[in-house]
Structure 1
Amino acid sequence: MEEEKVILVNEADEPIGLMPKMEAHEKALLHRAFSVFVMNDKGETMLQQRAEDKYHSPLLWTNTCCSHQRDGESNIEAGKRRLMEEMGFQTELTELFSFIYKAPFDNGLTEHEYDHVMIGSYNDSPNINPEEVADWKWMYPADIKKDIAANPNEYTEWFKIIFERFYGHIMKNTPAQ
């Protein structure tokens, strides 16, 4: 099976080529990615715990799902595809914002991504893919923020970066209770 390729981009998110995913992470090259946050009607965010066999960040908690767009695939199409592959459900997604981040890992790989952050709504339990996801839970964003501060080593590096922006966005765009 051919290794999945990522879309290399410049700082304006313009495609400049394709590269095998591992090579892009080894060379820390900027590539397109997405992060999906699913929330329920109570305002909780669905988190996933990465599977134990993941090549980096195993058993760490992170957003509902994230991955890389395929060549010719829109951000929303990619988010919906990966949400089904990892969490076993579909929902409508809306793109909130995008930004560039860089997160090195202990194993020598680096996430250097032009990340498109999306949100969706769902109120049921997921049907997780055990090859991708070890566990899942609902948490209120304020509780996630507190838990990241208290237990930073239990969360993926990229989630800690992305969550700060996501939290700021939802706090700014949520009417006062």
Structure 2
Amino acid sequence: MSSREQQLVELVDTVGGAVGAATVDEAHRAPGQLHRAFSVMLVDDDGRVLLQQRAAVKTRFALRWANACCGHPAPGETVTDAARRRLAEELGVTTVPLREVGVYVYQAADPATGRVEFEYDHVLVGSFTGAFAVDPAEVAAVEWVAADGLAARLSQTPDRYAPWLAGVVAAWQGSSA
């Protein structure tokens, strides 16, 4: 089991209040424990959004397309600090101002592994145009896509995408209305 699976996540109640901690591994065993997470949307100057294809070694939803970056803050770590840390680790991106645009709560079981995502997901957005230094242990591929066609792609071929992506996109688009 990877060391990332032994890191602690913050367990939360239904309104986001901290109620304890568990390892990533424990929090994602069926039926799942509600825990704090974040999802980052990166948007370029043309309004396109960055998608990443999750690496094949991921324990949850491997090789599915998702938002630019996601993860879990450690207990006591701010969501923004954790998001900046993961952007640097996964994509080599270190200078993106982020703003939180909403929270999305979801639960989804990975049919391939039986692992469960049950997350109180803080959605953050940042503007970015630059180069990436992708960590292949985290990310299989990246692609910039037009935001206006993304919802249609998600509904037409949902099994290609991480189950949280539609909610993350909706939170982002709702914030810019």
Same fold (TM over 0.5): yes
- CA deviations 1:96-123 (Å, max 9, x no partner) are 1113211122122211111100001111
Separation (CA, whole Å) in 1 of partners of 2:118 and 2:62: 19
Alignment root-mean-square deviation, CA:
1.4
Separation (CA, whole Å) in 2 of partners of 1:12 and 1:161: 17
- CA deviations 1:104-155 (Å, max 9, x no partner) are 2212221111110000111112111010001001111112112112221110
What is the aligned counterpart of 1:100 among 62, 87, 105?
Answer: 105
Q: Aligned pairs, how many?
A: 171
1:162 aligns with 2:165: no
Separation (CA, whole Å) in 2 of partners of 1:41 and 1:103: 32
Separation (CA, whole Å) in 1 of partners of 2:170 and 2:19: 29
Q: 1:4 corresponds to which residue?
A: 7
Name structure 2 gaps, 5 residues minimum.
none
1:74, distance to aligned residue in structure 2 (A): 0.6
Is 1:52–1:59's contact at 8 Å kept on the other side of the alignment? Answer: yes
1:24 aligns with 2:27: yes
Separation (CA, whole Å) in 1 of partners of 2:65 and 2:106: 18
- Structure 1 runs (4+) greater than 4 angstroms displaced: none
Separation (CA, whole Å) in 2 of partners of 1:54 and 1:10: 26
Name structure 1 gaps, 5 residues minimum.
173-177
Deviates most, 27-36 or 158-167: 158-167
Q: Please give the TM-score of this superposition, normalised by the length of structure 2.
A: 0.91
1:1-177 pair list within 5 angstroms: 1=3, 3-26=6-29, 27-90=31-94, 91-106=96-111, 107-170=113-176, 172=177
SS at match of 1:129: coil
- Aligned-pair identity in percent equals 35
- CA deviations 1:37-91 (Å, max 9, x no partner) are 0101110101101111111211111000000001221111011000101111121
